[in-house]
Amino acid sequence: MKVKTKKDYIASLKDQEVVIYYKGERVGDRTTHPAFVPHINSAAKTYELALQPEHEDLLTATSHITGNKINRFTHIHQSVDDLIKKVQMLRVIAHETASCFQRCVGFDALNSLYITTFEIDEKHGTDYFTRFRNYLEKIQEENFMLVGGMTDPKGDRSKRPSQQVDPDLFTHVVEKRDEGIVIRGAKAHQTGAVNSHEIMIVPTQNMMEGDEEYAVAAAIPLSAKGVTMIFGRQTNEERKLECGIDAGNSEFGMVGGEALVVFDDVFVPWERVFMCGEIDFTGVLVERFATLHRQNYGGCKGGVSDIVIGASALAAQYQGTLNASHIKDKLVEMLHLAETVYAGSVACSAMGSKTKSGAYYPDPLLANCTKQNITRFIYEISRLAHDIGGGILATLPFDTDLKHPEIGKYVEKYLKGVEGVSTETRIKVLRLLENMTGGTALIESMHGAGSPQSQRVMYQRLGKLGEKMKMAKKVAKADE
């Protein structure tokens, strides 16, 4: 079915029979499970906003394959303007959800594979690019949601994939047949997996001789036999089940609902396989995937930060401190940090370039710089929010206490702020701040799209230190 509306999206999820476990129990209907509904609502915004005329330019694009109007999350970037619109789109959706809307990783997997399969075919005479275009056309037509599967469990990280005692700690090909391949392994921390239609697996790192079975990229329906998803526990996980004020962001939840996706001898037909053994292209595929994903963070995290800043200002207003000079200064600093990370995403997009495949690709050095800033600035924005909000962020009574027939009057009386604002309204804003600035949300900012060290490795590779030394010698007239 073609997914256009939120209703279509939910119906398409119902149509798939998937294996999901939550807290040790098999989930029946994932579309009604309270742990998943907020993440479904958030992802649904990528469909809903695309139908609104005021957002059509950002959330839709014209397919370069069919000429049809498609959701931008299934588009292959055809210009610098596409790269910039991607970042603008992410900030707009973040303003609606204040959470992760989960389609970015699959979006980036599509674009990185489009570029790389073209070059694999050019060198090795394979037909991966044709297969991929055929698959892409189907995804564009159906508007399916993909989870991008890069991160493997990795086991002993001092050893290469082929050196592991347990070979399944990196996803790999265990059998090749005339009709396709069989894979085994797992992908960890998979954002949006439980409410996606398919997973696009790609290698998790550069592979070397002996690692050929781990150099695999393929598209797998999450309903395929042998696929099992185990939902990860998040900070304050149980609050989603309560669906009250304590949830903080009850409609859209926290981050992206990550899961461990297990492949237990999953068969994949050849038409869905886009790399199989080409170790010489694993490194560049990983780099492209990472660059495209790091490009995003100033958009989505900039948008989420806008909500944190707004909630911080409301918290100050409700307690009567908004006009204090030190509060104004903290809010200005938060604004500066949010716009700085957004500027990084726009800059790496504006400096993007055309690849051999015809697709456009952001500047990798600036994309890595953007993500490195995220690992610091989001923590600082959260620290300032905690400073402004005060200790009450960590000590608020339960929602049930506020509504209790006997003690509710005390909560109402003693947690009141300025006149004209109810205690309940004040608590709602404080709970939103607590939800957005603690635990899982911060860890995702640190490690999503790669840990800080991975960006610093890219600085060493892309920073052109030798050229900078030559320029300095020339200006100083210090030629030896």
Angle at the Cα of 84 (from 79 to 88), degrees rounded to 5?
A: 145
Domain assignment present for residue 44? The answer is: yes
Residue after which a domain boundary falls, among 230, 259, 280:
280
289 and 272 within one domain: no
251 in a domain, yes or no?
Answer: yes
Contact 94, 300 (CB under 8 A): yes
pLDDT tens sequence across 385-428:
999 999 999 999 999 999 999 999 999 999 999 999 999 999 99
The answer to the question of whether 191 is labelled as a binding residue is yes
Which one from 60, 276, 293, 318 is the annotated catalytic residue? Answer: 293
**243 is annotated as an active-site residue:** no
Rounded CA-CA distance 245/251 in Å is 11
Q: Are 120 and 113 in contact (CB under 8 A)?
A: no
Q: Which of 48, 119, 212, 444 is catalytic?
A: 444
CATH number, domain containing residue 410: 1.20.140.10
Q: Dihedral (C-alpha) 35, 38, 44, 46: value to the nearest 10 degrees?
A: -120
Query: Would the CA dihedral through 165, 168, 173, 177 be positive or negative?
Result: positive
46 is catalytic: no
Burial class (CB in 10 A: 0-12, 13-18, 19+), 406: exposed
> What pLDDT is attached to residue 449?
66
Residues 195 and 273 in one domain: yes
Residue 315 amino acid letter: A
314 and 254 in a single domain? The answer is no
In a domain, 480, yes or no: no
Q: 60, 151, 191, 375: which is the annotated catalytic residue? A: 191
Lowest-confidence pick of 1-10, 204-213, 269-278, 465-474 = 465-474
Exactly one of 33, 100, 171, 437 is catalytic; name it: 100
If asked whether residues 255 and 185 sit together in one domain, one would say yes
Contact 147, 113 (CB under 8 A): no
Domain boundary among the residues 280, 303, 336 is at 280
Q: Tell me which of 97, 104, 116, 189 is the catalytic residue.
A: 104
95 annotated active-site: no
Query: Which of 226, 258, 280 delimits the end of a domain?
Result: 280
Structure tokens at 199: 């997973």
For residue 461, pLDDT beyond 90: no
Whether 300 sits among the annotated catalytic residues: the reply is: yes
User: 147 falls in which pLDDT band (50, 70, 90)?
Assistant: very high
Q: Is the pTM of this model over 0.95?
A: no
Is 100 one of the catalytic residues? Answer: yes
Residue 292 and residue 272 in one domain:
no
Residues 220 and 301 both lie in one domain: no
On whether both 379 and 235 belong to a single domain, the answer is no
Q: Are residues 44 and 133 in the same domain?
A: yes
Residue 45 has pLDDT above 70, yes or no: yes
Domain ranges, residue 365: 284-464
- Is 470 domain-assigned? no
**Is 147 a domain residue?**
yes
Which of 258, 278, 287, 434 is an active site residue?
Answer: 258
| Band of residue 1 on the pLDDT scale cut at 50, 70, 90 | low
Tally of domains within the chain: 2
Which region among 49-63, 136-150, 238-252 has the lowest average model confidence (pLDDT)? Answer: 238-252
Within a domain: 476? no
Q: Which residues of 355-389 are buried (b: 16+ CB within 10 A; e: fewer)?
A: bebebbbbbbbbbbbbbbbbbebbeebbebbbebb
- Is 297 labeled as catalytic in the residue annotation? yes
135 and 228 assigned to the same domain: yes
In a domain, 478, yes or no: no
State whether 374 and 250 are in the same domain: no
Give catalytic status of residue 64 as yes or no. Answer: no
Two tokens, residue 149: 């599967």
Whether 220 contacts 269, CB under 8 Å: no
pLDDT tens per residue, range 240-282? 777 789 888 888 987 778 999 999 999 999 999 999 999 999 9
Domain assignment present for residue 475? The answer is no
- Average pLDDT score over residue span 186-208: 97
CATH number of the domain enclosing 158 = 2.40.110.10
Decide if 258 is catalytic: yes
The verdict on 244 and 127 lying in the same domain is: yes
Q: Quick one: 187 and 40 in the same domain?
A: yes
